[in-house]
Amino acid sequence: MSMRLFWLALLLTLSACGFQLRGALSLPFTTLYIENAGPEMGVELARAVRTTQTRVVDDPAQAQAVLQILSQQREKQILSLSGAGRVSEYRLLYRVSFRVRDAAGREWLPPSQIELRREITYDAAKALAKEAEEALLFRDMQSDAVQQIVRRLASMRPAA
């Protein structure tokens, strides 16, 4: 009897905490043109937008909204040095600037920026592996940026 009470209390607690899975995003437009994203980010953005009801089009004249990637920057900064003066850590930065406008050129979302950072240790004896890890981290940051852009698109409202 006490075990049943425990499970019932656990289920009631979980249902009362407000936890729910994130549903499918809904964008405030039906068609989107992606401009200046580059091949890698463009494919990833198109794939992320296709999970919504919005259709990605190849002609800006057919689009209800235009997502314009203004810039993408990758940067590598020295974070720390060893006692011998060799680099022991780097900070990787990935910045994406973008805006959204409609087909008539009215701005729906002013220029915005997403900046992501990752730290990576460095060992000259494992230089090839560290280069691969760096490339993987930059790809991961790009994926994070794409998801953040799509969430911002979902939360915006068209200008009146």
pTM: 0.78
Q: CA 154 from chain center: how many Å?
A: 13
pLDDT tens profile 112-138: 999 999 999 888 889 898 899 999 999
Asked if residue 99 lies in contact with residue 109, where contact means CB atoms within 8 angstroms, the answer is yes
Above 60 in pLDDT, residue 20?
no
CA distance 43 to 34: 10
Pairing assessment for the beta strands 87-102 and 107-121 based on DSSP bridges: antiparallel
Amino acid 21: pLDDT: 46
pLDDT tens profile 37-90: 888 999 999 999 998 889 999 998 899 999 999 999 999 998 888 888 888 899
Mean pLDDT of 145-157: 91
